[in-house]
């Protein structure tokens, strides 16, 4: 089989999972037009080429916060005229649309460089536990910011659970259960090992449970994309997990006068820093949590940096590097 031949040819080639945040598609002060999406995707795919040029197998995963938020709003605005779709379907829609945008940007970068690699997007289901405590305590704000009155109206008419999101406005909240495993992990791994660039688990993946009939069934929840990236990297036996965000380094005492960038960190050091509370829960917390989980499951290396520093970081001259127990 062609795939098996390619996998044999690429034996020993390392696989990297690259996870990127919302900035990959929409920058501060942008509206998120298709032109914005294409420009930003081209930029980040250009950066990812430094992994391709180093001959890594590459799996890319990405967030979908603003995009799924828009779909939720559209759903709601047209609910009198059109049938609305549940959140799991909307996540699938963003996996498709953002997958297309990334796929096209990636192909264009490869063509410019005359590199003969293929790109594929996998609509990815992620298994969660139906008994996950997150279902009793929905905590993930999604969709647009609303006034208190608007939010309460939607709570009463649509059955939403709502919260005051850090004083910035009112939002819908949904459960954010932990990812257990990636249903498409074999396909993703085999494609990556054959050298194809795989885009998978967009938006943290589509949350599905095993229902009473032992069937898979989508649920209205969202999975943290950083935690999914960690499970994905472990499930496909990746050597390297790279988390791209909008800071060049992870810091101790972040935002304080004595803040200190981290350069090389072992698992033991990372556990200690997490215990000391250096990483904010909704932002850096899940990223370092994802790194820790990946390394504890046998992952070799992880890197957190910004796209602009990726190339230098791969050469060991930038970014925060994390190593597993040897």
Q: How many CB atoms lie within 10 A of CB 212?
A: 8
Give the span between the Cα atoms of 170 and 143, in whole angstroms: 10
End-to-end CA gap in the chain? 36
Instruction: Count how many Cα atoms sit within 13 Å of the Cα of residue 264 in the half-sphere of its side chain.
Output: 3
284 binds ligand ADP (CB under 6 A): yes
Q: Is 280 in the site for ligand ADP (CB under 6 A)?
A: yes
Residue 47 binds ligand ADP (CB under 6 A): no
Give dist(CA 48, CA 244) in Å, integer.
Answer: 10
Query: Does 63 help bind ligand ADP (rule: CB under 6 A)?
Result: yes
Distance CA 91, CA 125 (A): 10
The piece of 52-60, 115-123, 243-251, 294-302 that touches ligand ADP (CB under 6 A) is 243-251
Residue 10 to residue 170: CA distance in whole angstroms: 50
Q: Could you say whether residue 254 binds ligand ADP (CB under 6 A)?
A: yes
Separation of CA 161 from chain center: 24
102 lines the binding site for ligand ADP (CB under 6 A): no
Among residues 33 and 259, whose Cβ is nearest to ligand ADP? Answer: 259
Q: Is 247 in the site for ligand ADP (CB under 6 A)?
A: yes
Residue 251 as a binder of ligand ADP (CB under 6 A): the answer is yes
Instruction: Report which of 2, 3, 27 is spatially closest to residue 191, judged by C-alpha positions.
Output: 3
Among 246, 248, 271, 312, contact with ligand ADP (rule: CB under 6 A): 246
187 contacts ligand ADP (rule: CB under 6 A): no
CB 188 within 8 A of CB 206: no
Question: Minimum distance between the CB of residue 243 and ligand ADP, rounded to whole angstroms?
Answer: 7
| Least gap, CB of 24 to ligand ADP (angstroms) | 8
| Residue 26 makes contact with ligand ADP by CB under 6 A | no
Residue 62 as a binder of ligand ADP (CB under 6 A): the answer is no
Q: Which stretch binds ligand ADP (CB under 6 A): 117-125, 211-219, 241-249, 289-297?
A: 241-249
Q: Out of 15, 16, 18, 21, which residue is the one contacting ligand ADP (CB under 6 A)?
A: 21
CA distance 163 to 172: 7
Element (H, E) at 242: strand 240-244
| Residue 184, SS3 per DSSP | coil
Q: How far is the CB of 227 from ligand ADP (least distance, A)?
A: 11
C-alpha 134/C-alpha 37 separation (Å) is 32
CA distance 18 to 233: 9
Total residues binding ligand ADP (CB under 6 A): 15
* Whole-angstrom Cα Rg for the chain: 20
Shortest distance, position 224 Cβ to ligand ADP, whole Å: 9
Looking at beta carbons only, is 57 or 61 nearer to ligand ADP?
A: 61
Closest residue to ligand ADP using C-beta atoms:
21
Specify the DSSP class assigned to residue 179: P
Chain contacts with ligand ADP (rule: CB under 6 A) = 21-23, 63, 245-247, 250-251, 254, 278-280, 283-284
């Amino acid at each position: 089989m062609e795939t098996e031949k390619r996998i044999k040819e690429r034996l020993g080639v390392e696989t990297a999972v690259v996870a990127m945040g919302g900035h990959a598609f929409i920058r501060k002060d942008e509206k998120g037009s298709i032109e914005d999406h294409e420009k930003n995707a081209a930029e980040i795919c250009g950066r990812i080429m430094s992994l391709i040029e180093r001959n890594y197998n590459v799996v890319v995963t990405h967030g979908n916060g603003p995009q799924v938020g828009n779909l939720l709003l559209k759903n709601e605005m047209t609910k009198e005229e059109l049938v609305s779709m549940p959140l799991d379907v909307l996540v699938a829609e963003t996996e498709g649309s953002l997958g297309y945008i990334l796929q096209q940007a990636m192909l264009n970068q490869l063509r410019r460089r005359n590199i003969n690699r293929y790109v594929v997007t996998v609509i990815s289901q992620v298994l969660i536990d139906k008994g996950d405590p997150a279902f009793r305590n929905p905590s993930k704000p999604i969709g647009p910011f609303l006034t208190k009155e608007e939010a309460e109206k939607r709570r009463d008419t649509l059955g939403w659970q709502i919260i005051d999101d850090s004083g910035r406005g009112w939002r819908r909240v949904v459960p954010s259960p932990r990812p257990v495993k990636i249903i498409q992990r074999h396909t993703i791994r085999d494609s990556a090992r054959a050298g194809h660039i795989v885009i998978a688990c967009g938006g943290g993946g589509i949350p599905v449970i095993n229902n009473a009939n032992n069937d898979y069934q989508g649920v209205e929840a969202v999975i943290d994309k950083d935690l999914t990236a960690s499970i994905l990297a472990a499930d496909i036996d990746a050597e390297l997990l790279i988390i791209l965000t909008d800071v060049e380094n992870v810091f101790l005492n972040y935002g304080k006068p004595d803040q200190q960038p981290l350069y090389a960190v072992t698992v033991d050091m990372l556990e200690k820093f997490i215990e000391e509370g250096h990483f904010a829960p909704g932002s850096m917390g899940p990223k370092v949590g994802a790194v820790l989980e990946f390394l504890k499951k046998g992952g070799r290396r992880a890197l957190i940096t910004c796209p602009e520093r990726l190339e230098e970081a791969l050469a060991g001259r930038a970014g925060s590097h994390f190593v597993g127990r040897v």
